[in-house]
Amino acid sequence: MASAFLGQTKKNRIYNWAKFHSLKPHSLPFPSHQTTIRKSTTTMFYISDNVSVVDGFVVLTIEKEGASVRKVVKKFHPKSKLFLLEERTKLANYALVDLDEYHTAFPGSDLVPVPSSQLFSVCTTSKRLFYTTPDGFRIVNSKTPDRHRRCSQEYTVIPVVYKDKPTKYLYLRDETHSTQYLLADVTVDRDIVHSKDSSFFEQEMNVGEIVFTENDLSVLAGFQQYKAQFAEDIYSYFSTIYSEVRSRYHRRPYLSSFHRPGYGETFPKDLQIPTIQKYSSMGSAFLFLAEVFPQLSFAEDFTCEHEQSPPKSIDAIASWFTFKLLPGSDNELWYLLVRICCYNWQDTSVAYPALHTLNSFRQLVDSIRALATYSVLYRFLHAGAIPGDSTADEIFFTKKSEPWTWTNVMYHKLTVAYQNYTKFNVRVCKPDAVLISGKKFSRSYIREFYANVKERFESNLSDLRQYFDKVLSVQAVADATLNSPTAIDVAENRIKTKNSLLLLINETALANVVPDFKPNVTIDSQEVARLVADMGVCVMWMIYFSATGPYRFPDMLILKYAGNQRNLFVDPESRCLDIITEYSKNREGNPMCKTLDKVTSDHLFYYIIVARNMLKHAVGTEYADMKRDLFNETNGAAEESLLNGYLARSIGDGISADDMDPVRYSRNVVNSFVFVDCTSHSLMHYARFSAFLKLYPMSVNWSMRLPFREMRHGMIKLVREYVKVEGEDVGVSAAKETLAGHSAATGLATYGIDHEKGLAADGSLEEKYASLVNAAWHHWLGLGYGSPAEDGESDIAKNSCEKRYFHPSGSIKDLAMAGVKLYGSKFEFREGQFDVAVEIYLSGSQVIPIQALPGYGKTALFQLPLMAVSLCDQPVVSFVFVPYVCLVSNMKLRFSSSGLSCGFVKDLFAGGPTVAESHLFCDVYVGTFNDLGSANFINLVNNTIMIARAKKGLDARPKNHIPEVRLADR
């Protein structure tokens, strides 16, 4: 057996070994409410001398001096310090029993049954007494009443100890006389339709009357053999039909629809290429059914005059749909074909077809309607082959066509049935969560996801530092530009906007924050592009969580910081970024303004200013690879005429040599769109974005992580239930629906939200409500620099996402001048010192811990900023605290010798606890940690805050790794 694993990777060897033992990685079942582990075979895997996996349980061997060896069941976590790195790597390849599930499945019982005799033969067991309660078994302890002790029973158990939860005890359940084997017999292999069935399929489609014979199933099974080719042919036909109709059919009436019953939507509805591909694939089954219909038993009731030539070409498809839908045509066949499609006869894995789900049948009907609409319009453009086809488009404007009217009414009822079915999928779970599709989605879920992607952003930034110098931190860049009153002009007219967000910032400030490339390092342009693209995905997720009503992915792709339709702005009050976009799915052109929290704003700003500059340097000024298909929509398109409508172009003719210049085009895209991916040479692809859903939050089991659509609906539900605004009324409730991307009427009809239909006519009032909801959402989640709301808290916190910043008036050059004054004309920063000194001098960070070996120059890291501050016109008083009294005089001597006027903190209070403004005449005061915590110093800070503001700053810079604090502004 060993020879079979030679030459394989470690992961493959683990997988094949598991396969040899009839168990694959990730195949172990998780406990449920009915039972703990459903398996019939015993499996044991060796991980190391101290760790093994027994029937999905991690067993750890514990050896202590003077004590016996114990083998205990432990919970596995990827970052657990109980296991070595190699052990954690191996354990990650197995789907392990989630021990936390025992508290969910058995909330009132200390005793948990398991059927694994192997586990009990391996682990150290003990005997304990338990008594029964209505909720389960409880362990007997010193506080147990005698009445329970008398009826207790002894069990041999394996204790499972949790860090923050009560201990659970596993006991072996004897299955010799158990009826548990019957639990395996749960299969229902045939849908049952009965007279009391009130479902859509029975009441509206009468599917009980559709009966397939063995011959029918045999004929329909032939679709699988030709499915790929058939779908490809239909896509080619439909692409040609669609492109010709879009270019030649010029009527654009507004037709009422289910989603827009009022003004309606333009007809015919334009489709994206992925949608055309999807409709072609799903619609091919319907057209195959029409082709083979004469061979089915259902055809016995139809004469030859009902039949039509099989739809095997463009003209044949257009003629077939037109013939079936024209007024006065025999419509029985159309009804029957649609009803047969209620069954998923394409699935050959079952003996008899099951009914489609409501959602899958809705998508199938969508494809049939689209194919029918464009086919009839194509026939209309080539009128003459069929009597009446010269007015065929009237089918869609009037109710003269009985089959089309029936199809629309049926579709409306189908959509209502689907919405009624799904509205029970989301349930409130107090105090701060919802259950969606049985998965818990909570405030902590979002917080951890946000923290994970923020940490990943910083990791990518750290990797970029191998190619670039002077890469400042996010906060340092924000404080030097976005938060500076002199570096950025935020007084911008949003009707007549500047061409680029960067034009708001003066050139000097931009030059001070962009990094330099390392001259002796060869830049890997692909690696830099990959890292920057990954940082972009991190920012997209931060925006997604911060934007209150969550965006769909296409909404974030159209974010632009420059050029036409620029939709990124700076709020002049909070210095947060505002995003103004339109909800792209219903295309109603209803702009929404969403304000991001301060942390997200700083990271987005950094990504645009710094990361984009590094990307542009890496790809070079002659970069010309950006695709015209920015949204990755045209892969595999059949017709060139179809492609043209989806390729990016300039306003105007779009075909001049200057317009088609790839270098100029690529430069314009990189300089305008926020989320550009130079590895795929397009905007960010959804696959890269959605991949994070499988990774984060890291502490959540992969099976309980939410997909994108469920997460979006979960966030909307969280906003409705937990985010409250003081004095919330109709306008605020309606604003929540607007932020979610639909109307107030939709919130009432679809989600049962109790408010009046429509929004206030006052746009400023709507903006005010949206701003309040945004701020309340940020506070509830704890985004920004404010403190998070307490559990169960839902009220808004005023100015919760605002941070008071120290606004430096100096620049990086001040540090160099200070260095020359202190250390002479040959002064140079040591490796790593420059970034930290800039962070201290220009950043508004509340905490800057510094840890380094002796001789690194830690003193210089706060001595240089102090000297730079003293050289500026801005009056600043600074405080430095050291741990021991013996260091105070030494520190004062250092400052005095460098030209700074220095005094002692204790001398300030020689005349009493009150310190007048005139007494603060030194540049810096030195004291001990005891002085820092004294009542006199606390009173000084509290009583002289106005003095500090008048002086534009009051600094406390403790020595030896103590956080820097500028008290007046933090």
Name the residue with tokens 């493959």.
12
Cα-based distances in Å from 943 to 57, 125, 285, 904, 913: 61, 65, 79, 19, 10
How far apart are the C-alpha atoms of 253 and 210, rounded to whole Å? 38
How far apart are the C-alpha atoms of 364 and 374, rounded to whole Å? 16
**Hey, which residues does 577 pair with through a beta bridge?**
570
Mean of all residue pLDDT scores within the chain? 76
What is the pTM (predicted TM-score) of this model? 0.58
How far apart are the C-alpha atoms of 484 and 497, rounded to whole Å? 21
Cα-based distances in Å from 50 to 17, 21, 67: 19, 21, 16
Whether residue 144 contacts residue 128, with contact meaning beta carbons closer than 8 Å, is answered with: no
How confident is the model over 512-544, as pLDDT tens digits?
Answer: 899 988 888 888 999 999 999 999 999 999 999
Whether residue 403 contacts residue 397, with contact meaning beta carbons closer than 8 Å, is answered with: no
Ramachandran sector of residue 228 (left: φ over 0; alpha: ψ -120 to 50; beta: rest): alpha
What backbone phi and psi angles, to 5 degrees, belong to 126?
A: -145, 165
Q: How many helices (H) and strands (E) does the chain have?
A: 36, 26
How far apart are the C-alpha atoms of 498 and 517, rounded to whole Å? 29
How far apart are the C-alpha atoms of 812 and 865, rounded to whole Å? 10
How far apart are the C-alpha atoms of 474 and 612, rounded to whole Å? 14
**Hey, which residues does 155 pair with through a beta bridge?**
128
Whether residue 94 contacts residue 78, with contact meaning beta carbons closer than 8 Å, is answered with: no
Neighbours of 289 (CB within 10 A): 21
How far apart are the C-alpha atoms of 483 and 462, rounded to whole Å? 23
What backbone phi and psi angles, to 5 degrees, belong to 817?
A: -65, -40
Task: Give the per-residue pLDDT at 783.
Answer: 84
Task: Give the per-residue pLDDT at 609.
Answer: 92
Low-confidence ranges of the chain (pLDDT < 70): 1-42, 174-198, 252, 254-264, 303-311, 384-390, 422-424, 549-550, 582-590, 632-660, 725-770, 786-812, 843-847, 872-875, 942-970
The pair of structure tokens assigned to 959 is: 């020595």
- Three-state secondary structure readout of 31-73: CCCCCCCCCCCCCEEECCCCEEEECCEEEEEECCCCCCCEEEE
Whether residue 627 contacts residue 634, with contact meaning beta carbons closer than 8 Å, is answered with: no
How far apart are the C-alpha atoms of 415 and 259, rounded to whole Å? 10
Task: Give the per-residue pLDDT at 527.
Answer: 94
Whether residue 834 contacts residue 813, with contact meaning beta carbons closer than 8 Å, is answered with: no
Q: How are beta strands 126-133 and 111-114 bridged, if at all?
A: unpaired
Give the sheet arrangement for strand 57-62, strand by strand.
44-46, 51-54, 57-62, 70-74
Containing 605, the helix (H) or strand (E) segment is helix 598-606
Cα-based distances in Å from 865 to 291, 670, 805, 921, 960: 82, 37, 17, 19, 16
How far apart are the C-alpha atoms of 163 and 179, rounded to whole Å? 35
What backbone phi and psi angles, to 5 degrees, belong to 807?
A: -100, 95
How confident is the model over 596-638, as pLDDT tens digits?
Answer: 889 999 999 999 999 999 999 999 988 988 887 777 666 544 4
Torsional sign, CA 80, 83, 85, 90: negative
Euclidean distance between the first and final Cα of the chain, in Å? 66
**Hey, which residues does 129 pair with through a beta bridge?**
154
Give the CB-side neighbour count of residue 812, counting CA atoms within 13 A. 23
Name the residue with tokens 């005793």.
111
